[in-house]
Amino acid sequence: MKGKTKIRIIITPYLLGIFLWVGSHCHGEEIKSNREVFIGSGKSFFYTAKSLGIPILKASLKIENGTIQPGRPFYQVQIHLDSTQKMGALLRVNNRFTSLMEFETLQPIRYTKEIDQKGLFIKNKNYHQILTFDCANRKVLEKTDKMVEREIPLPPNTYDPLSIFAQYYLREEIRPGQELRMSIYDGVKFREMVFRTRLEPLKSKRFGKVEAICLESTTSFSNFGDQEGLIRIWYWANRSKIPLLMELDLPVGNVRFELERVEENGRREK
């Protein structure tokens, strides 16, 4: 039972967005057919998730900039999450998450989820969901591939999980001793979170020994009857602010996402 619960909690879209604090098929097809969006330069981060030392998932994060006709600039953040071959029939995951946001304000425009997962220890899921944000009027339009639509009131200063990452990675400075408060909606539920920050040494698999800023917050996990656990994220404490590592301390164990490599415009950084 413990192994079953671990895998299920890892692939929750909400946790993925928080991790990377840090278009999918539906969004991508719409963009291509209307020639709305033109992608420019970008940077990608690649991670491996392990539990009990066993590789479970591969995750990639891509940040790009571009324009929407007629020349309106934007940022796009994407997460790809795939199960490792070693998991075999136990777990097959091919999930995609995309956030499109305003260039100047970083307010979310559209958040898209493409979920395709099944396996022995998880519930089979295959669906698309698009959240269209109207921050000025404090509402979000939610639409699924089953053509179900609903309009939801939006609290002020609420972001999707990936636009929250962009806000801090691209604009806001992260310093030790801060309390970072955020309101997040990912299509499942609204969450208010507080991350506390501290400076500490870190041994990074990719960069060796570095000084890092650790962000830590408690949160409840619905898969465990809303029991609380911890989320920790380490950013490199320099101008790059590279997200180096994330840990989930769950009621049943620990999961680590470690940075493997970084690419800029498709080229691997040394």
Residue-wise pLDDT tens digits, 152-207 = 999 988 999 898 888 888 888 888 999 988 888 888 888 888 899 999 999 998 89
Cα dihedral angle (106, 147, 188, 21), rounded to 10 degrees?
A: -30
Q: How far is CA 245 from the centre of its chain?
A: 13
Number of domains in the chain: 1
| Residue 262 banded pLDDT, cuts 50, 70, 90 | very high
Confirm whether pTM is higher than 0.75: yes
Residue-wise pLDDT tens digits, 206-242 = 899 999 999 998 876 554 456 677 888 899 998 888 9
Domain carrying residue 73: 2-268
Residue 6: is its pLDDT beyond 60? Answer: no
Q: Which of 49-58, 65-74, 255-264 has the highest mean pLDDT?
A: 255-264
Residue 230: the pLDDT is: 82
Residue 2: the pLDDT is: 41
Residue 17: the pLDDT is: 42
188, 182 in Cβ contact below 8 A?
no
Q: How far apart are CA 83 and CA 70, in angstroms?
A: 39
